[in-house]
C-alpha cells in the first residue's frame, strides 16, 4: 500500500471519528504551516524537485491561487463538474459499503483515471476509511484527494539547471509547436535567453509556424529548408546556443513521418547530437500530450518512452477536456511527471503543473 503523504496525515487518520471532521481543518493548517516554513526557509523546495523553474514559494502560490493557477482550475472545470455531480449522486444513494466503492471506481474510470490506478486508489481509500471507521462524506473526499495527490507527488518535476536543452516530442497535432512558443515566452519573462531550433523539417508550414511563434516570443530561431536533415538543424542550433551562451534551447520536432519507425529513429539521432555536441547542457526530453485524447495519450506515452527517455510531460488542451484523469495513470504507472499544462491557444496559456492545484481542480 502506498504510504500517506506525511506522517502527520497518517497520525491524523488514526484519530477517532469525532476528530475526523476536524482533520480537514487540521490538514489546511498543516498546509499553511508548511507554507510558512517553505517561504521562510533560505533553501529552495528541496525534495519537491522544482528548483530553477522560477516557481513562487508555497505561500506566494497560496496568495496567488486565483491568478497564477486559476487557469488550470478553470481548464479542469468540465472534469470537475462532471465528477462532482457523480460523486454527489453516489453519496446520496449509497452508504459506504462495497457497492459504494465499486461505483467510486467506476466514476474515476469515467474520468479516464486508468482501470489499474482507479482500482488501487479506491482500494486504498476503502482500507483507510474502514480501518479508521470513517463515514463522513467530506472526509472520504479529502482522503481521495490526498491519495490522488500522493500519486502525482511521487514523480516530482525535474530540477532545471542552465544552460539547458529541451526537446519536445509527440504525435502530430498535440500542440508541440504552440507549446514551444508559449514556453519560449515563459522563459523570456524570467529573463532567460532562448533559441528555438526548427527541427520539424517535414513540412514547410511547420518551419513557418514555429518562426511565427519565435517572433511573438521575441527569441532567436535556427532553421533550414523544408526536407533538410533535422539533426543538422539541431547541430547548428546547438553550436549557435553554445557560441552565444544561450540559457535555453527549445527543439521543435515533427509529429509524423511516413513511417513511425523513421520518426523514432530521427528522434534518437537528434538525441545523440545534443548529447555529443552539448554535454555540458542539461538535456530534457518532454513529451507533449493532448489531454482531450485521454487514455489514448497514455498509450502514446508508452511508445515514446521506449524510444527516448522522457523527463516530463506537457499536457495541452486541458481547457477542452472532461477526462483529465489519465494524468494519474501517467504518473502512477509510467512514472513520468507532468511539468507544464497548456490551457488555451494564446501565448500566456501555459502553467507550471502543480499537483495540489490539479487535484483541487479535478475533484
Ligand X SMILES: Nc1nc2c(ncn2[C@@H]2O[C@H](COP(=O)(O)OP(=O)(O)OP(=O)(O)O)[C@@H](O)[C@H]2O)c(=O)[nH]1
Site residues for ligand X per CB under 6 A? 170, 172-178, 200, 206, 255, 316-317, 319-320, 342-345, 349
Regarding beta strands 194-198 and 220-222, do their DSSP bridges make them parallel or antiparallel, or are they unpaired?
A: parallel
Footprint (CB under 5 A) of Mg ion, residues 157-176 = 176
Which of Mg ion, ligand X, none binds 194 (CB below 5-8 Å, type-dependent)? none
Tell me the residue ranges of DSSP E strands in the chain: 164-169, 194-198, 220-222, 248-252, 282-290, 312-316, 338-342, 350-352
Residue 270 C-beta: closest distance to Mg ion, Å: 15
Which of ligand X, Mg ion, none binds 175 (CB below 5-8 Å, type-dependent)? ligand X
Whose Cβ is closer to Mg ion: residue 56's or residue 173's?
Answer: 173
Residue 172 C-beta: closest distance to ligand X, Å: 3
3-state secondary structure of 351: strand
Whose Cβ is closer to ligand X: residue 110's or residue 172's?
Answer: 172
Q: Show the cell assigned to 7.
A: 506522517
Sign of CA dihedral 129, 134, 140, 143: negative
Whose Cβ is closer to ligand X: residue 230's or residue 332's?
Answer: 230
Whose Cβ is closer to Mg ion: residue 132's or residue 177's?
Answer: 177
Whose Cβ is closer to Mg ion: residue 61's or residue 176's?
Answer: 176
Among 177, 179, 195, 293, binds Mg ion (CB under 5 A): 177
Farthest CA pair distance, the chain: 70
Residue 340 C-beta: closest distance to ligand X, Å: 10
Checking 140-147 for CB contacts under 8 A at 24+ apart, the result is 140/96, 141/87, 141/363, 142/23, 142/24, 142/27, 143/13, 144/104, 144/363, 145/359, 145/360, 145/363, 146/4, 146/5, 146/9, 146/27, 147/2, 147/4, 147/121
Whose Cβ is closer to Mg ion: residue 122's or residue 210's?
Answer: 210
The rounded distance, in Å, linking the Cα atoms of 314 and 353 is: 9
Residue 89 C-beta: closest distance to ligand X, Å: 30
For residue 164, what are the CA distances in angstroms to 238, 271, 287, 319?
10, 13, 16, 29
SS3 for 247-312 is: CEEEEECCCCCCCHHHHHHHHHHHHHHHHHHCCCCEEEEEEEEEHHHCHHHHHHHHHHHHHCCCCE
Residue 242 C-beta: closest distance to Mg ion, Å: 25
Residue 200 C-beta: closest distance to Mg ion, Å: 5
Which of Mg ion, ligand X, none binds 343 (CB below 5-8 Å, type-dependent)? ligand X
Which of Mg ion, ligand X, none binds 174 (CB below 5-8 Å, type-dependent)? ligand X
Residue 204 C-beta: closest distance to Mg ion, Å: 12
Which of ligand X, Mg ion, none binds 97 (CB below 5-8 Å, type-dependent)? none
Which of ligand X, Mg ion, none binds 342 (CB below 5-8 Å, type-dependent)? ligand X
Whose Cβ is closer to Mg ion: residue 84's or residue 212's?
Answer: 212
Which of Mg ion, ligand X, none binds 357 (CB below 5-8 Å, type-dependent)? none
Binding site for Mg ion (CB under 5 A): 176-177
Amino acid at each position: 500500500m502506498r504510504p500517506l503523504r506525511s506522517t502527520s496525515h497518517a497520525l491524523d487518520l488514526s484519530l477517532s471519528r469525532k476528530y475526523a471532521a476536524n482533520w480537514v481543518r487540521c490538514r489546511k493548517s498543516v498546509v499553511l504551516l508548511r507554507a510558512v516554513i517553505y517561504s521562510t526557509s533560505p533553501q529552495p523546495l528541496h525534495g519537491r524537485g522544482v528548483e530553477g523553474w522560477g516557481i513562487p514559494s508555497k505561500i506566494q502560490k497560496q496568495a496567488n491561487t486565483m491568478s497564477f493557477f486559476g487557469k488550470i482550475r478553470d481548464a479542469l472545470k468540465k472534469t470537475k463538474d462532471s465528477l462532482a455531480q457523480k460523486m454527489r449522486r453516489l453519496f446520496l444513494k449509497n452508504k459506504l459499503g462495497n457497492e459504494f466503492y465499486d461505483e467510486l471506481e467506476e466514476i474515476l474510470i469515467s474520468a479516464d483515471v486508468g482501470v489499474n490506478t482507479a482500482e488501487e486508489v479506491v482500494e486504498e481509500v476503502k482500507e483507510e476509511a474502514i480501518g479508521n471507521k470513517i463515514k463522513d462524506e467530506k472526509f472520504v473526499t479529502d482522503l481521495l484527494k490526498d491519495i490522488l495527490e500522493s500519486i502525482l507527488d511521487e514523480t516530482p518535476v525535474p530540477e532545471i539547471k542552465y544552460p539547458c536543452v529541451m526537446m519536445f516530442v509527440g504525435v502530430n497535432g498535440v500542440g508541440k509547436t504552440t507549446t514551444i512558443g508559449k514556453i519560449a515566452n515563459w522563459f523570456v519573462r524570467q529573463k532567460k535567453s532562448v533559441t528555438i531550433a526548427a527541427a520539424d523539417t517535414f513540412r514547410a508550414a511547420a518551419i513557418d509556424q514555429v518562426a511565427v511563434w519565435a517572433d511573438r516570443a521575441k527569441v532567436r530561431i535556427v532553421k533550414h529548408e523544408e526536407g533538410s536533415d533535422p539533426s543538422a538543424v539541431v547541430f547548428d542550433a546547438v553550436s549557435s546556443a553554445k557560441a552565444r551562451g544561450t540559457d535555453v534551447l527549445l527543439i521543435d520536432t515533427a509529429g509524423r513521418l511516413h513511417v513511425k519507425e523513421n520518426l523514432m529513429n530521427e528522434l534518437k539521432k537528434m538525441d545523440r547530437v545534443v548529447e555529443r555536441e552539448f554535454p555540458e547542457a542539461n538535456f530534457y526530453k518532454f513529451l507533449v500530450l493532448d489531454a482531450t485524447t485521454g487514455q489514448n495519450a497514455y498509450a502514446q506515452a508508452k511508445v515514446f518512452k521506449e524510444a527516448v527517455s522522457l523527463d516530463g510531460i506537457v499536457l495541452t488542451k486541458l481547457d477542452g477536456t472532461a477526462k483529465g484523469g489519465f494524468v494519474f495513470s501517467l504518473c502512477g504507472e509510467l512514472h513520468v511527471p507532468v511539468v507544464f499544462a497548456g490551457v488555451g491557444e494564446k501565448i500566456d496559456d501555459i502553467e507550471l503543473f502543480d499537483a495540489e492545484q490539479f487535484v483541487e481542480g479535478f475533484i
